[in-house]
Chains A and B, each alone.
Chain A
Amino acid sequence: MIKGFWVILRFELFALFVSPATYVASFYFLALLGVGFRFFIESFVLTDWILPPLASLVVGLVFGAPALIPFLTMRSFAEERRLGTLETLMSAPVSNLGIVLGKWTASYLFFIFITMASFCFPLIISLWFPEQSQSLGFDKVEQWIGAFSFLLIFGASFSAVGIFASSVTNNQMVAGMLTFTLLTLYLSFMIFYFGENIEFQFFSGFAQIAWSSFGAVFGGLNKMQYFSVGIIDIPTVLYQMVVTFYFLILASTQIDQVKK
């Protein structure tokens, strides 16, 4: 069913690691994130931030994702469609799902790579300033695991959105802008529902279930309070998995349209 997955994954990872655009985007992203994190840590005591300081890094990565993800995903299908190499790829004995999953996994792994690189900032503080890091809570492993898990699940859905956007056009720039717009909209909804009670009283029956599902997806940021202290909220994991699969299936369907 996913024939060709490993070969495409290796090829895409190689393409990402040899592309200068990926390195430039990653460097600027990490640099800005590092500067932001430094200033936040410095002024932490003056803020009314209720979550552990490590969560600020997660917030930076999540809200910075609309700027980073397009660089990782916009090339994947749009460039292949522009060059016509998608046709050559599809003439090989590989499945559509194998192609989509291979490309998505490559961009997702690169996102994880950047996430791990960003976690070097608190790690450096822990190694060089052990006393300060203890007071900031950087010595608590559960906070690291929670923060990393949160980024893992949101990174998966964000990169799936990027892959879908890349599959609908043969222009890289359009794919990039579409990814940025979709992710910004997605985050805007999450901000809108932040701290809100999602259960809506106007609906009943199926409509209420449907609304609750949407609300649960968009209420993802609410769950950061659990993840930041090391509690993995399984429904949030499942909801983001649904979003990931939904966009990957959409991308696969879009590739199928090429055949018509």
Chain B
Amino acid sequence: MSSERKPLPIVEVINLRKSYRSTEALRGISFSIGKGEIVGFLGPNGAGKSTTLRILSGLIAADSGEAKVCGVDLAEEEGEVREHIGYLAENNPLPEDFRVIEYLKYRASLKGLKGSRKRDRIKSVLGMCDLERKISERKIGNLSKGFRQRVGIADSLLAEPRLIILDEPTIGLDPRQSAITRKMMERLRGEVSFLLSSHILSEVEACCDRMIILSHGQIVAEGTLVDLQNKFIQSVAFEIVSKAKKIELQRSIRQIDPQCVLLQDDPVEITGRRRFTFTCSKGRETVELILRTLLENQSFEISEFQICRPDLETIFLKATKQNWQEMDLLGRGKSKTDKPRDGIS
């Protein structure tokens, strides 16, 4: 027997499936989360993120598959699993009539905290979430969205859980409040595992060790940012900020490299200029040639040009687009000559 045994993962999900009537929300997903890892759970709306988080929190049951938290099977010991989990629900529902401190005392009691440990933990989470004394005495109904969110996070931290599940924790928060949430996760990094669902990709990129991208109930990408960059964008990516029209710019670039791909369908326009992101498979020299050619054409009015590593947003768009193409959800793949398919590949 080996003396160095691999530690048990905090979360282990194998072939998890869930349907709501005729809609398949999860189509057999499998993943695991190690101790102290911060994992970002990404995906478009309706991808199955919240369903997975709710299953892992013991709020809903899966149709089939296996889900273990801290080695305990959810299907068998749902109650015990909840003792290891801190959960912040989407939209963070809270009772309006209670003061913050009263609510946290109630939640601490529900989670089995008593006496001095209860007092210490409440004091500790109030400090961790920057809910100073004046705020803790206020009624929850009178708090701003940011403070309410912090109350929800404080609640999830109360019982020193081994896994904290945060469903959209920074939704509606200003940058300062988001930074406090990130700081809190940083402080607990290595001790507690986080499973974090968010649409704010820059934030996930900044604080997560690993990302899982979900689309239509399937995992379409998984790994660290570098892994995903290598997997999805093998070629050189470059950004151009220009006043040029998309078609004209694409035509000019494709004269040099016909394989050059524009990553966005509809680049964002700010004050008349658009930021285009292309990928080129022929290497850096070709990209430099493209720049020189574009600069010669004054009508393009190029104000910025940079060779970049693709960010999470680019990877996210590419991974989900690939999944949609595979499932023929973009309505482009099926021609009249196509044979009918038996199922989704």
Residues in A lying within 8 Å of B, measured CB to CB: 3-4, 7-8, 10-11, 15, 18, 83-85, 87-95, 259-260
Contacts and interface: CB of A to CB of B under 8 A. Distances in A.
Nearest to B156: A91
B94 A85 contact: yes
B179 to A, nearest CB: 25
B154 to A, nearest CB: 13
Interface string B185-221: 0000000000000000000000000000000000000
Given A90-B59, A92-B110, A93-B110, 17 more contacts: A3-B79, A7-B110, A18-B97, A83-B95, A83-B96, A85-B93, A85-B94, A87-B89, A88-B87, A88-B155, A89-B110, A91-B58, A91-B59, A92-B82, A93-B80, A259-B61, A260-B61
B61 to A, nearest CB: 6
Given A4-B110, A7-B106, A259-B60, A91 B95 contact: no
Interface of B: 57-61, 79-80, 82-83, 85, 87, 89, 91, 93-97, 106-107, 109-112, 155
Contacts of A88: 87, 89, 93-94, 155
B60 A93 contact: no
A80 to B, nearest CB: 8
Contacts of A260: 60-61
A3 B89 CA distance: 22
B85 A91 contact: yes
Contacts of B87: 88, 91
Interface of B is mostly: loop
A93 B59 contact: no
A194 B105 CA distance: 49
Nearest to B79: A93
A181 to B, nearest CB: 28
A85 B91 CA distance: 10
Interface of A is mostly: helix
B81 to A, nearest CB: 9
A15 B97 contact: yes
Contacts of B57: 91
A107 B135 CA distance: 31
Most buried by A among B79, B83, B95: B95
Contacts of B107: 92
Contacts of A8: 110
B89 A91 contact: yes
A164 B221 CA distance: 45
A84 B89 CA distance: 9
A89 B91 CA distance: 14
Contacts of B85: 91
Closest 10 CB pairs of A and B: A84-B93, A91-B87, A93-B82, A92-B110, A7-B109, A93-B83, A85-B93, A259-B60, A83-B93, A91-B57
Contacts of A259: 59-61
A253 to B, nearest CB: 14
Contacts of B96: 83
Nearest to A3: B79
Contacts of B83: 93
A3 B82 CA distance: 12
